[in-house]
Structure 1
């Protein structure tokens, strides 16, 4: 379509409805069509308040409803806890690293959680919810692979399954035992 002097024109199609080639002179007026002018719009850069001291790239990061460096869950410590609040249930979900007493913390997810904020020397305490892993977690320094981990602070239960293999390639764990599987 082409607009000229307040009227809209479109190519005149033959009765068959198919064009063999693009017409360059056969145009018809489309009745009942009006052209509306748009005001001139000038592009502008968004204004950013830099008074907060955070860079623009930092301000694009995920905002969490609650963050803490350490939280207790039964007898486990959760590090680098980042939680968001579900606006429907008012419970929290998020991520953390679980310290299970070895060099490498285990990445965990948290869902349907609630907690008590600690003050002073007291730790924040996870009181409700589920702490779990979404994929196997390996602690290569001790030959441990966790296949599942489910911790429930309100029931005070911790269930885990996985296996232990020798840390030395090609050697059995003990005697003729290559792998030791465990559950719960």
Structure 2
């Protein structure tokens, strides 16, 4: 079985993915980490030096490689992964795969992301919390169509990571 965690940046995909993989005794893959290993630099640098289009093409290639692997795994997708190209379709076509949307409110995302926005290329240019919140509200609305197609939707607001993993397990 393959479980693909999706949701907006800051929703907790990496943290929850790591914990869920431990509990299930599955392999864990963080798509962004795989891309950074291949490129030998961080996502922010890839965006700055090579652009978002280059990043999205590489992201799709790495996703396809993961989809071809036969082992049980939990995969944390990048926030935009299911929203570009045919990525979501390809995941949905895999018979032993389920998608899990970690749904966070705009207010939760704003609080989590404001202090680390300098490390997030998509939002690094935003200066105030108000600008960030407005951007997130619009961006999340655009991506909701993709996220809401998930097999499982879990609200992550005001919950400890262990509680979220337990919720996911109860729905598997």
Higher helix share: 2
Structure scoring higher RCO (CA < 8 A, sep ≥ 6) equals 2
- Between Structure 1 and Structure 2, which shows a larger proportion of strand residues? 1
Q: Same fold (TM over 0.5)?
A: no
TM-score interval (norm. to shorter): under 0.3
